[in-house]
Amino acid sequence: MATVRRAATAALAAAARDGSGLELSVLLADDDAVRALNHRFRGKDRPTNVLSFPVGNDGPVMAGGEPRPLGDVVLAYETVAGEAIEQHKAMHHHVSHLVIHGILHLLGYDHDNDDDADQMEACETTALAAIGMPDPYRPQQEEALTPPPGRVYADDGNI
């Protein structure tokens, strides 16, 4: 939970957004659930590491001081864990990156073309640096942080 909160706060700050008055959810699901969502909403019958479902409401905080929903970010646990191992990344680093990536999608960022991808990646790396994590787009030497195959750990026991 702490990893997700730090990543969410960093994503909002890197995107120059004040997170007060915003509400979002981050769901850690299994690959089957994410595959079903990916098929239903994107027409792709396979799991993916992260899906974002923006609410699409850019208005102010809702009446009565209720938080304005930003949307939902869904991570596929088995896919994310497998990627972390394959890419020699600490699990909490990869989860942080994908939470930030998903939240930036909620905020309207995309990577459909090179210019948009460059802008989104720059925001991601700024957010990750703010929480002391390496640039995921540059080769790193994190092998010492990578758990043995088949075992996955979070930085504080809570993702």
| Stretch 108-119: mean pLDDT | 91
Among residues 135, 117, 139, which one has the least CA distance to residue 127? 135
Give the pLDDT score at 62.
55
Residue type, 156: D
Residue 154 falls inside a structural domain: no
pLDDT band (50, 70, 90) for residue 141: low
Among residues 147, 154, 124, which one has the least CA distance to residue 137? 124
Residue 97 falls inside a structural domain: yes
Q: What is the dihedral of CA 26, 15, 80, 89, to 10 degrees?
A: -140
| Stretch 46-56: mean pLDDT | 92
Residue 55 falls inside a structural domain: yes
Q: Which one is predicted more confidently, 21 or 123?
A: 123
Contact 39, 2 (CB under 8 A): no
Domain residues for 105? 2-145
CATH of the domain at 115: 3.40.390.30
Domain count for the chain = 1
Residue 153 falls inside a structural domain: no
CA 103, CA 106: separation in Å to the nearest integer?
5
Give the pLDDT score at 156.
38
Residue 159 falls inside a structural domain: no
Residue 33 falls inside a structural domain: yes
Q: Rounded to 5 degrees, what are φ and ψ at 154?
A: -100, 160
Angle in degrees, CA 71, 67, 52, rounded to 5: 5
| pTM score above 0.75 | yes
Residue 155 falls inside a structural domain: no
Q: What are the tens digits of pLDDT across the range 18-39?
A: 777 888 999 999 999 999 999 9
